[in-house]
Amino acid sequence: MLDADTLNVLVVDDDDLVRGAYARVLQGSGFHVHLVASGQEALAVLGSVELDAVLSDISMPGMDGVQLLRQVRQRAPDLPVLLVTGLPSLETATEAIDYGVMKYLTKPVAPDKLVDAVERACRLSRLGRAKREALRELGTVIGEGSDRAGLEASFERALASLWMALQPIVSATDHQVFGYEALLRTEEPTLPHPGAVLDAASRLGQLPRLGRVVRARAVEAFAVAEPTWLLFLNLHPQDLLDESLLDLGEPITSLAERIVFELTERVSLDQVPGARERLARLRSFGYRIAVDDLGAGYAGLASFVQMDPEFVKLDLSLVRDVHQSGIKRRLVRSLTAVCQDMGLGVIAEGVESPEERDALVGLGVDLLQGYHFARPGRPLPTPAW
């Protein structure tokens, strides 16, 4: 058995007799037991004591056991929670599993079974702490919580720390700033890059909320920009359905004529009901559209026609080492000529070297973006040609 004298177990139950019975069994096995009668009291203990396990009843007034589980996950991702119920149901069991319950026990719980479950929970608690300590020492990113509550907690922290890095888009003719692309950043280590944040939002059904936060922060960051500069913002196809884009009370609509929404060619608009009408309404407010990832997306011409963009952004795969590849140069020249003939502005993103820059300018590309000019940052990085 573990050194139980050092193990803190929180017992949560609104029934005095049951709470006392659990305490006698666990204390008899050497555990240090903290007793509380409600979820609110449990959270107070959680904030003041380093616990190794939580044992809670499910049916309690106020905050029930599953709600407590969610709160515990947000505060202590590695702390094992065991839930006990006298009225087991598939619904509560499924919800508890979704939020990462370690074990689901049915009353009456035999003393030996209770001790075994709590001891195992404490072992896992120690393992979780050791793993996180090792990851921190090694400088490794700590992954998101595997259960829903852990993912919710990670996502909420990501939203709270979310900020927008701005990267300049430079004119190939006069080398001046044409606009800036706003790129999502967060200080949350469990969701360390935009793709992880987007994936978490998708899994949690929070894409609309994420989109609104991103757009609000981008508008704030762009407040100091020159009035002629444009703001390029990535737009998830589902965001086309967000009425806040057309709400005159929203800050973003006041900048509509300076905003270019980027929609990737890698997805189809077929999943968006009335996409063409939605895009027309956005344009009526002054918004413009850019097709991102041109040349690598698998959406057909139908989606391109639906978008009817004002700008296209050449995919990074065409830009990288373009000066060393005759095939890439031919493709870039052809795509650029066709798009310009249609009246579209052509942007090459991901430019990292003077050689790539010069090759793209020679191929007639209108606008350039990439680390060679400036890394994304705040408030508004000044590009160098």
Omega before residue 376 within 30° of 0, cis: no
Inform me whether the pLDDT recorded for 148 exceeds 80: no
* Burial bucket for residue 290 (CB in 10 Å: 0-12, 13-18, 19+): buried
Buried b (16+ CB within 10 A) or exposed e, 309-331: bbbbbbbbebbbebbeeeebbeb
- Distance (Å, whole) CA 160 – CA 187: 9
Inform me whether the pLDDT recorded for 361 exceeds 80: yes
Report, as an integer, the average pLDDT of 307-320: 89
Least confident among 36-40, 145-149, 319-323, 341-345: 145-149
Which residues have a Cβ under 8 Å from the Cβ of 56 and sit 6 or more positions away? 10, 11, 12, 13, 39, 42, 65, 68, 69, 81, 82, 83, 84
Which of 272, 270, 269, 258 is closest to 291 using CA atoms?
Answer: 269
Report, as an integer, the average pLDDT of 25-47: 92
**Helix (H), strand (E) at residue 54:** strand 53-57
Inform me whether the pLDDT recorded for 135 exceeds 60: no
Please tell me whether the overall predicted TM-score, pTM, comes out greater than 0.75 for this model.
no
Rounded to 10 degrees, the C-alpha dihedral 301/305/308/311 comes to 10
Edge to edge, what strands does the sheet with 32-36 contain? 32-36, 8-12, 53-57, 81-85, 103-106
Which of 291, 286, 266, 275 is closest to 344 using CA atoms?
Answer: 291
- Which domains, from first to last, does the chain contain? 4-138 (3.40.50.2300), 148-369 (3.20.20.450)
Inform me whether the pLDDT recorded for 1 exceeds 70: no
Write down the pLDDT at residue 296. Answer: 61
Confidence of residue 2 (pLDDT cuts 50, 70, 90): low
Report, as an integer, the average pLDDT of 8-36: 93
Local structure of 364: helix, strand or coil? coil
Give the other-Cβ count within 10 Å of 378's Cβ: 11
| Structure token pair of residue 84 | 């006990």
Write down the pLDDT at residue 97. Answer: 63
Confidence of residue 6 (pLDDT cuts 50, 70, 90): confident
Write down the pLDDT at residue 299. Answer: 46
Inform me whether the pLDDT recorded for 127 exceeds 70: yes
- Tens digits of residue pLDDT in 364-374: 999 999 999 99
- Distance (Å, whole) CA 140 – CA 135: 5
- Distance (Å, whole) CA 314 – CA 308: 16
